[in-house]
Chains A and B, each alone.
Chain A
């Protein structure tokens, strides 16, 4: 069993996202966590931007959901894991939704493909009428 000491214990928080105002709350918390973990201002901005896009997706497509933020570690390298979860309609074609330029909302089409570009790891699990969970990880450079 891996031993947990206080240093390795994940810094974890969860922001309920139900309106556009929560987008700001989520991204500010993400930035604060990035700064605590020693991310550069540039990296912290990328984290905050990714959270902003993910949280907006929740509000736009599912109405509500939550954003979980937690710290991670890989061989001494700190990272942030962002889990955006909703119980909305789900994404009918995940492969299509992460294609550059794809958008169903008349937006800039940057949503998911844009987020995918600015993080190190990007996973989408979506089920029709059940919801979507998007997990992204950004490691400190």
Chain B
């Protein structure tokens, strides 16, 4: 099950639509990194609303995606982690350190807009 990636102006939006296998997650990682360069995107949103479980592998892959994309000069925000999924992650001991998260797609877009607006001032 591949994850569709939508290009919206300077952002890429990847919406996970069902439970993903490890291979699907790694394919998403490769595709996102490649497209950030191709479209010169400034921000990436990964929407995990439909994800039933964020286990250690999925969490690590999301964290890797965010870090790799940061190295490519763009920002990533993970949106839509469901309450029960968040609860299970904490119980399992998973943290998404240094990865930005937002409640939903709308909040994620607002977050990126704000980050990128202020970005030049940070230098």
Q: Which residues of A contact B (CB under 8 A)?
A: 20-21, 23-24, 27-28, 31, 41-42, 44-46, 48-49, 52-53, 56, 100, 107-108, 110-111, 113-115, 117-118
Residues of A contacting B22 with CB < 8 Å? 20, 23, 56
- Give the secondary structure class of B's interface: helix
Further pairs besides A28-B19, A31-B52: 5, Cβ < 8 Å: A49-B53, A56-B56, A100-B93, A107-B60, A118-B91
B88 interface residue per 8 A CB criterion? yes
* Chain B count of residues within 8 A CB distance of the other chain: 23
- Give the secondary structure class of A's interface: helix
Question: Lowest 9 A-B CB distances belong to which pairs?
Answer: A20-B22, A52-B55, A114-B92, A45-B84, A42-B84, A110-B56, A49-B88, A108-B56, A45-B88
A52 to B85, CA, bound (A): 13
Given A24-B19, A45-B84, A45-B87; A52-B93 close (CB under 8 Å): no
B39 interface residue per 8 A CB criterion? no
A31 to B51, CA, bound (A): 13
Residues of B contacting A24 with CB < 8 Å? 19-21
B23 interface residue per 8 A CB criterion? yes
Residues of B contacting A117 with CB < 8 Å? 91-93
Instruction: Identify which of residues 6-41 in chain B touch chain A, using a CB-to-CB cut-off of 8 Å.
Output: 19-23
